[in-house]
Amino acid sequence: MRYLALIILCFNCFCGQCQAQSINEKDLIKQADSLYNNANYKRAASIYNTVFKANSRPGTFDLYKGASANAHINKNARAINYLELLVSQNHLKRYDSLLTDSNFLSLHKDKRWHNVSYLISTYKDDIEHRYGKTIKQELIEINSKRISQKRLLDSLVNSYGWRSVQAADERKLIATTDSTNFLKVQTIINTYGYMGPQIIGTEANQVMFNIILNKDASIAKKYIPIVWQAYLKGNASANNYAALVDKVALRESNTQIYGTIMLRKDGRYYAPAVLDTVKVDSLRKQIGLPPFREYLKEFGN
């Protein structure tokens, strides 16, 4: 019994020490965060360094701030070491953003920065390899279901009329499906970035864009800079970017910039409300689109 009591006593003491240490670490991190947020990088770095020495698995955002604080005071070796630990944890959604993060621009001249860049590249390739096929299949299935719903709606309209209960119910189902699909695409982009056709295929890439394009202009507008960056990286087509810009412009100011949205009247297609018919070709050329007249020919005009 004595031995058992001694073991229990030692265990309780050990747990108490661990708990006290954990609480102490949390207090120190809070102190470091406060100093960091007030741009007192030297003192913040000192506290982060102390905590990280005692903790073999520091938190993701703690590592980020620790790396940033050390980078700000030119402690490059420590900053790079923390970034390497950060990437190796595989917890961040968008590691490639670290490559352009202004907090770490001073590290780019350091030869050790190559290690961070390599780790990020390896992680990104791994993510694309592991999830690209799954996401491709999911987007293709989304498109197939959407096409089936549209065909059913057309059939119901032909049989019962646009204002029928049957058609109205199907439109509600389609609206619910569209909202669900957008949330899926939003999650994909937030987690893996705007995935290009080289990763998920041309069809799935276009499905992803169409889901964004079909949203209200107020929501679609938020994706203009995202699709622009995707275009610059080869992950979205010039026509996709232009169509998104034109859709938002039409809804907000009844104008088009690139003339990508077409309407039909008396058997002929036309682009409504092009803002500047003189400059439209030069604007299209800037993003790699053919002249407007050539574009019209695709519609049989």
Write out pLDDT tens, residues 55-104: 767 888 899 999 999 999 999 999 999 999 888 876 555 667 888 899 99
Are 290 and 237 in contact by the 8 Å Cβ rule? The answer is: no
**Which residue's entry shows tokens 């520091």?**
58
pLDDT value of position 94: 63
With cut-offs at 50, 70 and 90, classify the pLDDT of residue 171. Answer: very high
Left (φ > 0), alpha (ψ -120 to 50) or beta: where does 58 sit?
beta
Are 229 and 194 in contact by the 8 Å Cβ rule? The answer is: yes
pLDDT value of position 301: 63
Percent of the chain with pLDDT over 70: 87
Inter-CA distances, 197 with 170, 186, 207, 298, Å: 32, 17, 11, 23
Task: Summarize pLDDT for 219-262 with one digit per residue, the tens.
Answer: 999 999 999 999 999 999 999 999 999 999 999 999 999 999 99
pLDDT at 23 over 70: no
Q: What are the residue ranges of CATH 1.25.40.10 in the chain?
A: 23-110
**Mean pLDDT within 191-203:** 90
CA–CA dist 184, 182 (Å, integer): 5
* Residue type at position 50: T
pLDDT value of position 157: 97
Homologous superfamily, domain 23-110? Tetratricopeptide repeat domain (1.25.40.10)
pLDDT at 155 over 80: yes
Closest CA to 255 of 243, 278, 242, 272: 272
Largest Cα–Cα separation, the chain: 99
CA–CA dist 199, 201 (Å, integer): 6
- Threshold 0.75, pTM exceeds: no
With cut-offs at 50, 70 and 90, classify the pLDDT of residue 28. Answer: very high
HSE value, Cβ hemisphere, 13 Å, CA-based, for 179 = 5
With cut-offs at 50, 70 and 90, classify the pLDDT of residue 3. Answer: very low
pLDDT value of position 9: 38
CA–CA dist 178, 172 (Å, integer): 10
